Structure 1
Amino acid sequence: MALSDVDVQKQIKHMMAFIEQEANEKAEEIDAKAEEEFNIEKGRLVQTQRLKIMEYYEKKEKQIEQQKKIQMSTMRNQARLKVLRARNDLISELLNDAKLRLSRIVTDPKFYQGLLDKLVLQGLLRLLEPVVIVRCRPQDHLLVEAAVQRAIPQYTSVSHRCVEVQIDKEVQLAADTTGGVEVYSSDQRIMVSNTLESRLDLLSQQKMPEIRKALFGANANRKFFV
């Protein structure tokens, strides 16, 4: 039985409606999938950028912290150096004051003569040479001659050796030094410096730990004084 035109039109409309519905559903499905993929990609990009930003600021924070540590270390070192310089300046000032006071020793002839006696004898005993040369300040010649005369028998008694002592009148210690003597072997290759300045320098080196402790207290960073 043949379909009428009306039936054909109805079927065509029905088919078109079905196709349109299928197309709409497919389009919605594509849109939904695209939206989902977009959201996933957007989330991935956002997370990636967030991680990059966090990593950047963590790195910056570490750099700032490191800079702070360096600055603090630099400031501590500078402060420590200032303290050390101030302490060294104080010690130098005290030693300079001590050197100035040495000049007062020679103003007491009796005391200075006794000191020269000991310095000459010590020089002889340290050298143990048969011939020695003694140098002194020009103004100390008479005192040193007397010291030599007293030192020779004491030296012989202690060392059981004889010694010839020559007082150098050609080469002398500077007149503006504080005093004392220098004792040389005959070839002048060996020298014992027993000037007042050298004795003070030697004593200050030996006693420096005690001097620092007396002035500044014990150093907590040191278990032993060397």
Structure 2
Amino acid sequence: MALTDADVQKQIKHMMAFIEQEANEKVEEIEAKAEEEFNIEKGRLVQTHRLKIMEYYEKKEKQIEQHKKIQMSNLMNQARLKVLKARDDMIADLLKEARQRLAEIAKDPARYSTLLEGLVLQVNSLAALILRYNLCLSTFQGFYRLLEPKVTIRCRQQDVEIVQAAVTKNIPIYKDAVKSNIEVRIDMERFLPSDICGGVEVYNDNGKIKVSNTLESRLELLAQQMMPEIRMNLFGANPNRKFMD
């Protein structure tokens, strides 16, 4: 039986509706897949950038922490240097006061005469005098140190008479001790500076060997020898020191 125009149109409409429905379903399927892929890619990008941001701020945090450590170390070093400088200044003031006290000895003729006798021959007398000012000096010799047949003594110009008396007194003592003669000359052309505390310098005959027994040199020697003990008494034991020898 032949189809009428109405039947044909009806079938065409039915086929168009079917095709349209399939097309809509395909569109929905494509949109759903695209949405899924979009969400997956979006999640991936968000996670990737999130990790990058976290790494960036972790790096910044580490840099800040490192910078803080460096600043703290610098501040501690600066504070340590200030403490060390303050300690050095205190020791310098202590030595300055000691020098001033040594200068007072030369103002007492009797004590200074005894002191020079010790400096010319040996320093037992010096040690006894300086101990009264808390300055313990080890034995350091003049004539005995050189053991030369001829020596020259240099002193302050104002000390010439006292030194001459000390030489006169100590030559017999020296001869008796070493069983040898000695010729002593006081240098009357070149004197020690008048602004030093006192003492003498003893030279051998050609002037190439010198024994410095000025009060300043003795004080410097003392400071070097007793510096660990001085620091211990002033500032206590160093907690960072591992070896005591």
| TM-score bin (small chain) | over 0.9
Q: Read off the aligned partner of 1:167 and give its amino acid letter.
A: I
Is 1:125 matched up with 2:152? no
TM-score by structure 2 length?
0.86
Counterparts of 1:39 and 1:172, CA distance in 2: 101
What residue ranges of structure 2 are gaps of 5+ in the alignment? Answer: 122-140
Is it true that 1:17 corresponds to 2:17 in the alignment?
Answer: yes
CA separation in 1, counterparts of 2:176 and 2:53?
A: 91
The percent identity for this pair of structures is: 68
Say if 2:192 is the partner of 1:181: no
Amino acid of the residue matched to residue 134 of structure 1?
A: I
TM-score normalised by length of structure 1: 0.93
Q: How does 1:9-158 map to 2 (within 5 A)?
A: 9-121=9-121, 122-158=141-177
Does the CA contact (< 8 Å) of 1:209 and 1:225 recur in 2? no
- Stretches (4+) displaced over 6 A: none
Counterpart residue number, 2:233: 214
* Alignment partners' CA distance in 2, 1:164 and 1:225: 46
> Number of residue pairs matched?
226
| Other structure's SS at 2:191 match | coil
Q: 1:160 to 1:4 in 2, by over 3 A?
A: farther
Q: Which amino acid aligns with 1:172?
A: F
Q: Determine the C-alpha separation between the residues in 2 that align with 1:157 and 1:223.
A: 49
Query: Any stretches of 5+ residues in structure 1 without a counterpart?
Result: none
Compared with structure 1, are the counterparts of its residues 224 and 113 closer, same or farther at alpha carbon in structure 2 (3 Å cutoff)? farther
Further displaced range: 93-102 or 67-76: 67-76
**Matches of 2:180 and 2:45 in 1, distance apart?**
100
Farther off after superposition, 150-159 or 165-174: 150-159
Paired with 2:168 and 2:243, the residues of 1 have a C-alpha distance of 44
- Cα deviation 1:101-150 (Å, max 9, x = unaligned): 11111223232222212211121222222222110011111211122223
Is the 8 Å Cα contact of residues 184 and 192 (structure 1) preserved in structure 2? yes
- Residue-by-residue CA offset, 1:20-60 (whole Å, 9 max, x unaligned): 11111111111111111111111111112111211111111
CA RMSD after TM alignment: 1.7
